A = this chain, B = another copy of it.
Amino acid sequence: MEKKHLFGKCPYVTSQKVLTGKWSMYIIYLLEQAGTIRFNELQRQMPEEMTHTTLSRQLKALENEGLIVRTEYAQIPPKVEYSLSEIGAKFSPVLKALEEWGDQYIAYMKQK
């Protein structure tokens, strides 16, 4: 993923780029719910199947973008925890609005 100059001038274009990853919104949501969560547990809680390769890449992308924090414990077997960064935590209102709209949208599409 490796993006540069993500911070342009337009908040919409910027947000869109940050949220490019296919699972980014749900990852942020899970981190917000869990507070802190380990890699494998995160993978298990994803709504659809995904390989750890994919999850790993998305996490790294979000980390590079500054949204999440990765904490590695020097032990064997390895233990790595993820949580939201400060700016990542501020994404919360967006998630809230998104959840409400998403539910309305789902309901609306079902009735058709």
Contact = CB atoms under 8 A, between A and B. Distances in A.
Interface residues of A, number: 43
The complex is assembled from copies of this chain, and their number is 2
Nearest to A112: B66
A43 to B, nearest CB: 15
Interface in A86-102: 87, 90-91, 93-102
Contact of A94 (B47, B98, B109): B98
Interface string A1-20: 00000111111111110110
A22 B15 contact: no
Interface of A: 6-16, 18-19, 22-26, 29, 47-48, 66, 87, 90-91, 93-106, 108-110, 112
